[in-house]
Amino acid sequence: MVFSLGSINADLVIYSPEFPQSGETLVGDSFFINQGGKGANQAVAAFKAGAPTTFIGRVGKDYFGDFVVSEIKKYGVNTKVIVDETATTGTALINVDGQGKNKIAIVKGANEKVGEEELKLFQESAKEGDILLLQGEIPVVTIILAAKIALEKRVITIFDPAPVNADLKQVLPYVDYVTPNEIEIKKLSGSENLKEGLEVLKQMGAKKIIIKQGDRGIHYIDSYQEFTLPSYLVKAIDTTGAGDSFNGALAASFSLGLPLMDSLKFAIAGAAISVTRKGAAISSPTQQEIQKLLEENIEKSTN
């Protein structure tokens, strides 16, 4: 079983030819609302990639809360969601430009109150060999406690330190895998030099580091090995949720019993497919789609 204990948002998305400048009103091409939040997105990605998955989180008692819970359930994800009458559902305003790049502003809402009740739900459900996905959109103290519970139960943890802030470095000693991009490494470590930043993360307790490098693939480092894996050549339409697709697919691949190298390739393929589609959770691919892309690239490499 894959668990994702984290955020769930309503994503309000505008597509426009370019990003508006400060003070400028720009006419967009299209608009839609969908379920988002890194925790929920990664839960959907893991489920679609082939793993039984449970999302644990919190929403407000409002229209967006009803909407996002109904949306995540449509995918087949098991949900343990607390409805908080004192908070609003988390919301993200997303602007995507003509090149598929995005700018995002988030109001955490009920996600800021994820804590003791959610931790209890996880502790009661998790068992040895399960996978736990964690992200940075809920309180740091909750993330640390969840990681400690996972450590005690021998649950594999995958931590996405985004949106990045310096406090998230406290989580590193308690997780198995951390999946930052280069900017997040610099902000977590306090160093503008990437190599020095990685050494700082190791000193902070990071065990297995997977550096997300977008269309350049990933770079992997642990105590025994270090290597780079390329991405797959695709036409990017919308990069929103690509990192979530990667982490969800990685969790699914571990749940499916794939070895590390195959798991990383599986996750890279999941992220690559996701950028060819609009949206976040909705863009993450199925297990069959990922396997098809992997098989096609094996055929190319042997021809």
Tokens 């939040």 -> residue: 37
Its pTM stands at 0.92
Strand partners, 13: 32, 94
What is the mean predicted confidence (pLDDT) over 222-239? Answer: 90
Q: Does residue 240 carry a pLDDT above 90?
A: no
- Above 60 in pLDDT, residue 101? yes
pLDDT digits (tens, 9 = 90+) for 41-92: 999 999 999 999 999 999 999 999 999 999 999 999 999 999 999 999 999 8
Domain 2-20+29-302 carries which CATH code?
Answer: 3.40.1190.20
Residues recognised as catalytic? 244
Encoded amino acid at 147, one letter:
A
Q: Where are the domains of the chain?
A: 2-20+29-302
Q: Which residues pair with 34 in a beta bridge?
A: 11
Per-residue pLDDT tens over the stretch 259-284: 999 999 999 999 999 999 877 788 89
- Of the pLDDT bands very low, low, confident and very high (cuts 50, 70, 90), residue 303 is very low
The pLDDT > 70 percentage for the chain reads 98
